[in-house]
Structure 1
Amino acid sequence: MKQFLLSGLLILLMSTVYAQTPTAVDFPKLNWLEGTWTKKVSRPDRSGFERWEKLSPSSLKGIGVTMKGNDTLFVEGLQLQTKENALYYVADVAENKSLTWFKVIAIDADGFTCEDPEHDFPKKIVYARTGDTLKVTISGDGKSIDFFFEKKK
């Protein structure tokens, strides 16, 4: 009897975990990201932003830029898209020879979490929105870096 109950509990747990994995139908929960987000920086000579635009009902395209005065220090192409009914955050960075695909593992109305455990850094990215402010945390291998943004009106 115990073995039967344990098996039933395991099946229930696995189906609950599977049901929570974001799929293509969850994509509209990401639409709040559309627009320009200005980076709040701690150094007066630095600035930056992320700009996102909706390309289709299941695709957002973005760009992240960091500046020092008028000089561009860092640019990355960003995408949020569906592939095989899963959601992905895709980063295109000059230092990498190919795109980095982070699978979205959690999503709600105010943010999402994605990860690529095989990537060097970051392995995990978390976008968390509170009203018109956004906190993006990149982490991996015991390191964590926070970036703060405000929605440009």
Structure 2
Amino acid sequence: MKKAILLATGLFLSQFALSQSMKDFKWIQGKWERQNVKPGTSAFEVWEKTKEGFSGSGVSMKGADTTFVESLSIVKKDADFYYVANVSSNASPTYFKITSTSKTGFVSENPEHDFPKKITYELEGDQLTAVISAGDKKMGFVFVRQE
């Protein structure tokens, strides 16, 4: 009987922790304007809460012309959470397993992907920093909350 109670308690706490973890991504919601862009260009990420998790989109523009679009999401698949990037240059969406989280950030990884292999998001105040990397190659994106 004790084993059954412990097992049930463990399963409840595990499910509670997982449901709490999805809620911990709420800090990413909103419209974010990229700050470190070349003159004449602009870029944004917009994130919103959905039934499945969080849905986002990234858009880069040069003047009035759209130069890059990506669909983004944070979802739970089985017992794990994933950052999912869907860009037209890939045949299908790329899943990056979220390997660590904090109250204001996460690290996601996919060692099988060419570039990036690692994506990190970190919020400090109203500034959101995203870093994509693989080995020594690293690119940083700095955003400021617009809404």
Q: Which interval holds the TM-score relative to the shorter structure?
A: 0.7 to 0.9
**2:35 aligned with 1:40, yes or no?**
yes
- Per-residue deviation, 1:142: 1.6
**Mapped contact 1:110–1:129 kept (Cα < 8 A):** yes
Q: What's the secondary structure of 1:75's corresponding residue?
A: strand
Q: How far apart are the structure 2 equivalents of 1:44 and 1:149?
A: 16
Q: Paired residues, what number?
A: 132
**2:26 aligned with 1:31, yes or no?**
yes
Q: How far apart are the structure 1 equivalents of 2:92 and 2:20?
A: 27
Q: Give the % identical residues.
A: 41
Instruction: Give the structure 2 partner of residue 54 of structure 1.
Output: 49
Structure 1 runs of 4+ with >4 Å offset: none
Instruction: Give the structure 1 partner of residue 116 of structure 2.
Output: 122
- Per-residue deviation, 1:25: 3.5
Instruction: Give the structure 2 partner of residue 136 of structure 1.
Output: 130
Instruction: Give the structure 2 partner of residue 63 of structure 1.
Output: 57
Q: How far apart are the structure 1 equivalents of 2:98 and 2:23?
A: 13
- Per-residue deviation, 1:70: 0.5
Instruction: Give the structure 2 partner of residue 8 of structure 1.
Output: none
1:54-133 aligned at under 5 Å gives the runs 54-56=49-51, 58-133=52-127
- Per-residue deviation, 1:42: 3.8
Q: How far apart are the structure 1 equivalents of 2:110 and 2:20?
A: 21
Instruction: Give the structure 2 partner of residue 5 of structure 1.
Output: none
**Normalising by the residue count of structure 1, what TM-score does the alignment of the two structures yield?**
0.82
Q: Deviations over 1:64-122 (max 9, x none)?
A: 00110001110000010101021000010000001100000000111000000000000
Deviates more, 1:117-126 or 1:34-43: 34-43
**Mapped contact 1:24–1:87 kept (Cα < 8 A):** no
**Mapped contact 1:24–1:86 kept (Cα < 8 A):** no
Considering only aligned residues, what root-mean-square deviation do their CA atoms show, in Å? 1.5
1:8-23 aligned at under 5 Å gives the runs 23=18
Q: How far apart are the structure 1 equivalents of 2:90 and 2:136?
A: 21
